[in-house]
Amino acid sequence: MRQPRTRLGARMPAKAYVSMGIVGLCVVLYGWEMLQGIDAVAQNLAMFPAGIAVDNEYYRLFTSMFLHYSVLHIGFNMFVLWSLGPQLENIVGHVRFGVMYLLAGLGGSVASFWFSAPFVLSAGASGAIFGLMGAFVVVSRRLGADTRQVLGLIAVNVVIGFAVSNVDWRAHLGGLVTGAAAAAIIAYAPPRQRTLVQIAGLVAVFAVLVLLTVLRDQLLTAQLVTAGFGLTSA
């Protein structure tokens, strides 16, 4: 028997397992951070451009998107994820949603890597969350739904990101752009060979992020070596 599919070609999900799983993972990790010490965990796993460039700690690009600094921080991010995630997951399907979330989070980390100060630590799911908001707008427009509420939410949070100190607005914007791009690939892929086009497009987005990471690594490593930090010339 053929399984029902969404308007974008994904299998109709029974429940938003990926959204719920990400929320659960972030909550569990925040509890672990509280036990270990938030600052201690951040030193090892948060975004740290100099550590990525000099010590090749690329895992920080991913681990940082699941860590949070306070109850308010994780509370806001998980509230938005809980509000928008299941709706998107029900439209695009489990796998596409999971890939889109990770790409948006990575896009936020790459933007932070490029434009944050080398020795600043940062963490949070905000890049991925902004990516979901951007994706929600793209998918909603593709389906002819009203996007004003989410656009307003994006605008308010962009302003807050610039107005409040110690907020990594770079990750917000990087996640927003990446999430919207990934959603556009999923939403506007032609019905014929839809899955192939979606896979190729999402792989291309990932490849661009990898290329940007490698380029920034080279530039920042050279900058730090010249300044006398970390590596020394042979």
111: its two tokens: 């933007």
> Would residue 70 show up in a list of annotated catalytic residues for this protein?
no
Residue pLDDT, tens place only, 122-157: 999 999 999 999 999 999 999 988 888 888 888 988
Find tokens 């929320």 and name the residue: 23
Q: Which of 68, 94, 122, 172 is catalytic?
A: 172
State pTM to two decimals. 0.91
Domains and their CATH numbers in the chain: 17-227 (1.20.1540.10)
> Would residue 126 show up in a list of annotated catalytic residues for this protein?
yes
Confidence of residue 214 (pLDDT cuts 50, 70, 90): very high
**Residue 176 Cα distances to 30, 145, 179, 181, 234, angstroms:** 24, 19, 5, 9, 41
Q: Which of 126, 140, 165, 233 is catalytic?
A: 126
Name residue 32's amino acid: W
Residue pLDDT, tens place only, 90-110: 999 999 999 999 999 999 999
